[in-house]
Amino acid sequence: MLPALKPRRYERVGLRSGPFVAWQGSAGRSISRVATLGLGGLFIAAAEPAGIGEGIKMVFEIPGGEVRARAMVRNSHPGTGMGVEFTSMKPEDRARLHRLLSKLLTVLPDKQPN
């Protein structure tokens, strides 16, 4: 029997044409698109994603300003992208992200399930 999946702590929003995110891992720097956005992390569309367990630094622009964060790669799919969990972010960046997500979650019908 498979273990039950834990429910996600934060809702996510799928983005058809998400913002660009500049990120840096051990293999260097890259620019990709955010495919899914949540308060706990992102799914970054990347042909050559960082590996599971790798720490990355990132910066992306959203309405209201820039968001800088550190994150841990939780899943990685070469040719598709990577799911990352935020590990560090300044309070003002988190507030900007929270404001944007609050707006998106009230107007977008295609939010991702928990």
- Residues 58-108 pLDDT 10s: 999 998 899 999 999 999 999 999 999 999 999 999 999 999 998 888 865
* Stronger pLDDT, 44 or 102, i.e. the higher one: 44
Q: Is residue 4 part of a domain?
A: no
Range of the domain at 80: 12-106
Supply the pTM of this predicted model: 0.82
pLDDT at 24: 96
pLDDT class of 35 with cuts at 50, 70, 90:
very high
Specify if 44 maps to a domain: yes
The per-residue pLDDT for 10 is: 67
Q: Is residue 97 part of a domain?
A: yes
Q: What confidence score (pLDDT) does residue 114 get?
A: 46
Report the CATH number that the domain containing residue 92 is assigned in CATH: 2.40.10.220
**pLDDT single digits (tens) 4-28:** 555 557 677 777 888 999 999 998 9
**pLDDT value of residue 112:** 47
Residue 6 lies in a domain: no
The answer to the question of residue 100 being in a domain is yes
Give the pLDDT band of residue 109 (cuts 50, 70, 90).
Answer: low
Q: Is residue 3 part of a domain?
A: no
Task: Please answer whether residues 62 and 100 qualify as being in contact, where contact means their C-beta atoms are separated by less than 8 angstroms.
Answer: yes
Number of domains in the chain: 1
62 domain residue, yes or no: yes
Check if the beta carbon of residue 42 is closer than 8 Å to that of residue 25. Answer: no
Residue 38 maps to a domain: yes
Q: How confident is the model at residue 113 (pLDDT cuts 50, 70, 90)?
A: very low
